[in-house]
Chain A
Amino acid sequence: MEIPLSCYLVLSGILFVCGVLGFLIKRNIITIFMSIELMLNGVNLSFVAFAAQWHALSGQVFVFFVMVVAAAEAAVGLAIIIAVYRTRETLNVDRVNLLKL
């Protein structure tokens, strides 16, 4: 029994949509950031699925790069979150809507 590629892609789509929804409805900035990671993961899955479909390892290499970028992004992003929290003393994005303090 083999799984159609579309199943993997739909799974990846569900993860991505969940990520976007999380971005939209979550207020905690850390959770929003995690939603982004969820989106990236969803995309990664479609990369790997396509790699398997087309017998091209490049897809997996792309996943590797995405992970690297995600790691860098997490480091910087969390540092930014810490900096934001230090100045605003809140993690709620609805309260972080002014450029000036």
Chain B
Amino acid sequence: MTPNPYLWLVPILPLAGAAINGFFGRRSSKKAITAVALVFCGLAFFLALVIAAGFSSSSAPYYFNLAHWIRAGSFSVDFEFYLDQLSLVMLLVVTGVGFLIHIYSVGYMWDDDGYYRFMAYMNLFMFFMLTLVLAKNYLVMFIGWEGVGLASYLLIGFWFTKDSAAAAGKKAFIVNRIGDFGFLIALFLMIKHFGSLDFTHVFTAVQSLPTETAGVGILTAIGLLLMVGAAGKSAQIPLYVWLPDAMEGPTPVSALIHAATMVTAGVYMVARSSAIFDRAPTAMMVVAIIGTLTALFAATIGIAQTDIKKVLAYSTVSQLGYMFMACGVGAFSAGIFHLMTHAFFKGLLFLAAGSVIHGIGGEQDMRKMGGLRVYMPWTFMTMGIATLAITGIPPFAGFWSKDEILWRAFGASWVYWLIGVVTAFITSFYMFRLMYMTFGGEYRGAVAQKAMVHKADAHGHDDHGHDDHGHGEPHESPWVMLGPLVILAVLSVVGGFVGYGNRFEHFLAPVFQGAGAVAREGAREAGDSTIEYLLMAVSVSVAGLGWLLAYLLYSRLPQLPARIAASLGGLYRAVANKYYIDELYAVLFVKPLIEGSTTILWHDVDQGVIDASVNESAHAAREVSDSLRHMQSGNLRSYAGWVAAGGAVAIAYMVWMGVR
């Protein structure tokens, strides 16, 4: 490993930006805030590029020890940063996409009162995300992990005066806690069994252990617990419920945190822990199953959503499911590949959706959109590219990564593959449904309607010279917002070629060389190029089918979907209401918790035991004091008498002890 003293600058720069904006932003001009936020974030990106330029697939990892942190006996944790090929990919994605979204935010959030706050939070998020990515041990990673959770909470609840936003923030935080609980226990197990949290140490120790093929051992336990953490952070079944609600936050937040970077932290963590999972096939299988189910499940919910951001949110959950599927079948590099391309096109989708929302005055309901391609051609084009990318139409980015995943999944089991293909079909359907509903047909929004429904993104939108009385007709967004869209669109187009000829896999090979041995063998068996091309053809045609269906239903026969929905009845309602999962959780967990807290903990334990004991002890103290009060006569000599008597007792005790 090579020490690299510049490594720590990458996370610290956004932190400095956050600190400056956080402390001084209230009194600074917006230009200054913008400059600070962009400069520090951009510097981090630039630094990441510089580091990447000197880094190849054969490079030894960089590390930098910033400070000693914990020393407890033989156990020690240092504040260390670490950069290998895997971290580098994440680093570039986070800083690059993050920087673009920062630029976009300037246009999007310009008129918000909390502009400085927003920028400070965004920078803070960048700091924690980079800490997470660059951590050299699980504890530093955990700091980043919790920190991005904090930033996410702050940004979801950014418009905290709105009840739904505050509630969504809390929901995200609490659901994430459940996952973190698993993560923490996994860390404790590691400390207990390996005596260290350092990646290198742990993985070396793991590799000396046998593979836990039969039964459940310590590695399986650690792997499953890590997966619990990852499921929380990356919104997998059963902990995905927070992510759709998180769309209450500003759209750049949804793009950056809840699509491109933070939610992929779970994937990153699983990939990082590949050595552990490699020795725990059971845990791996669980990862694969959860990923697959989540992919399908979330995709079906996405069909019936009408909120543009909700559709994208479920799409994100679904795509994350793909990544976990990849990790679960041992194709870690494919998962990371998809993570990267997903960051490009999903970030782009959200930004474009934000542009749409921005352009029509805060409306998010797709039923009130339509025909927008005329008003906002750039948004339409870029979003179209992203849609093609996510549905896996060649040669766009999504095709390469998704195809890789499906192929590798097929190598593990055809069931994964089948579900993956079905999911791809559904994905294609709901994405093109979104496109047609938003951009196709005629504009259905209330152009001159005065009482506008300020939904989630109730940001100020008088930045384009409109008066207060309405939004007027839809319009294209300013170039500060379109610029990032275009760049991301380009990336969505060409990003996939990175993986051409397994180059991406080879690049990441040093990281996963210790892992994935089993899976790679399986992949080799399926490594017949005929089958590969066949599978490719199937998935592409499935995507085309989805497009066709969407075209038919939402462009040709716009009345049909309603009739289908009516005929499906209960099933449609179930899908539209997200299978009542939230309600189920409410009944299963939330309500019993509240009831139990109220009746048992509050009335019985708190009031009956704790309060009562406090009150009783106070009462007893008063009784005793009342009787002892007469001792405090105010007479100096009486006090002295007590002191003398006490001294005599002390002397007597000491003498007795000495004599005895």
Contact = CB atoms under 8 A, between A and B. Distances in A.
Contact of A94 (B637, B640, B641, B644): B637
A93 B644 contact: no
Interface of B: 633-637, 640-641, 644
A24 B634 contact: no
Contacts of B635: 93-94, 97
A96 interface: yes
Nearest to A23: B640
A99 interface: yes
Taking each of B633, B635, B636, which has the highest tally of chain A beta carbons within 10 Å of its own beta carbon? B636
A20 interface: yes
A32 interface: yes
B644 A97 contact: no
Given A24-B640, A24-B644, A93-B637, 6 more contacts: A23-B637, A24-B637, A27-B637, A96-B636, A97-B633, A98-B634
B641 A24 contact: yes
A58 B589 CA distance: 72
B463 to A, nearest CB: 69
Interface in A68-101: 93-94, 96-99
A99 B635 CA distance: 11
A74 B522 CA distance: 94
Contact of B634 (A25, A32, A99): A99
14 contacts: A23-B637, A24-B641, A25-B637, A27-B637, A32-B636, A32-B637, A93-B636, A94-B635, A94-B637, A96-B636, A97-B633, A97-B634, A97-B635, A97-B636
The 7 A-B residue pairs whose C-beta atoms are closest, nearest first, are: A97-B634, A93-B636, A97-B635, A23-B640, A20-B644, A24-B640, A24-B637
Interface in A1-60: 20, 23-25, 27, 32
Contacts of B644: 20, 23-24
Nearest to A26: B637
Nearest to B640: A23
A27 B640 CA distance: 12
A93 B641 CA distance: 14
Contacts of A93: 635-637
A96 B640 CA distance: 15
B4 to A, nearest CB: 58
A92 to B, nearest CB: 10
A58 B374 CA distance: 98
Nearest to A32: B636
Contacts of A99: 634
Contacts, number: 25
B649 to A, nearest CB: 14
A20 B639 CA distance: 12
A32 B640 CA distance: 11
B486 to A, nearest CB: 81
Contacts of A97: 633-636
Contacts of A24: 637, 640-641, 644
A14 to B, nearest CB: 15
Contacts of B641: 24
B351 to A, nearest CB: 73
Contacts of B636: 32, 93, 96-97
A94 B638 CA distance: 10
Nearest to A94: B635
B1 to A, nearest CB: 57
Contacts of A94: 635, 637
Nearest to A93: B636
Taking each of A24, A25, A32, A98, which has the highest tally of chain B beta carbons within 10 Å of its own beta carbon? A24
Contacts of A23: 637, 640, 644
Contacts of B634: 97-99
A27 B637 CA distance: 8
A32 B641 CA distance: 13
A25 B635 CA distance: 12
Nearest to A35: B640
A23 B640 CA distance: 7
Contacts of A20: 640, 644
A19 to B, nearest CB: 11
B635 to A, nearest CB: 5
B407 to A, nearest CB: 86
A20 B188 CA distance: 61
Nearest to A27: B637
Contacts of A25: 637
Nearest to A25: B637
A89 B634 CA distance: 18
A23 B637 CA distance: 7
A94 B644 CA distance: 18
B655 to A, nearest CB: 13
A9 B399 CA distance: 98
B632 to A, nearest CB: 10
A92 B535 CA distance: 108
Contacts of A32: 636-637
A24 B645 CA distance: 11
Contacts of A98: 634
A27 B635 CA distance: 11
A44 B361 CA distance: 89
A1 to B, nearest CB: 29
A98 B633 CA distance: 9
Nearest to B644: A20
Taking each of A27, A93, A99, which has the highest tally of chain B beta carbons within 10 Å of its own beta carbon? A93
A92 B641 CA distance: 17
B117 to A, nearest CB: 53
A57 B635 CA distance: 41
A16 to B, nearest CB: 10
Nearest to A21: B644
A85 B161 CA distance: 65
Nearest to B647: A20
B656 to A, nearest CB: 18
A73 to B, nearest CB: 16
Nearest to A95: B635
Nearest to B634: A97
A88 B641 CA distance: 24
Contacts of B637: 23-25, 27, 32, 93-94
Nearest to B638: A97
A97 B636 CA distance: 7
A93 to B, nearest CB: 5
A94 to B, nearest CB: 6
Taking each of B633, B634, B637, B644, which has the highest tally of chain A beta carbons within 10 Å of its own beta carbon? B637
A24 B633 CA distance: 15
A94 B633 CA distance: 10
A4 to B, nearest CB: 18
B18 to A, nearest CB: 55
